[in-house]
Amino acid sequence: MADWPVVVTLLGWILAVKSALFLLFPQVMGIFSGWTDRFMTTWIRAGGLLLVMLGAILVYRSIYG
């Protein structure tokens, strides 16, 4: 399994590529225009919870790893 710095680096590159694609192709955002506020709120909370758990794992591994 990859060490945690590799995971952080990969996530950073994925976010950078995603951001560049949204900047270069803004019409892609039209896909999300039909989503309801309730649906988006649910996914934002789920994504936030996932990121908090990933952050906790990475902090734990950096301190005790």
* DSSP calls for 1-56: ---HHHHHHHHHHHHHHHHHHHHH-GGGGGGGGG--HHHHHHHHHHHHHHHHHHHH
Q: Is the pLDDT of residue 61 over 60?
A: yes
Instruction: Return the pLDDT at 62.
Output: 85
Residue 3 φ then ψ, to 5° = -75, 160
Question: What does the block give as tokens for 13?
Answer: 């590159």
Provide the mean pLDDT of the chain. Answer: 84
Give residue-wise pLDDT tens across range 2-43.
677 888 888 889 989 988 888 888 887 777 777 777 887 888
Rounded to 5 degrees, what angle do the CA atoms 45, 18, 14 make? 85
Instruction: Return the pLDDT at 22.
Output: 83
Per-residue pLDDT band at 46 (split at 50, 70, 90): very high
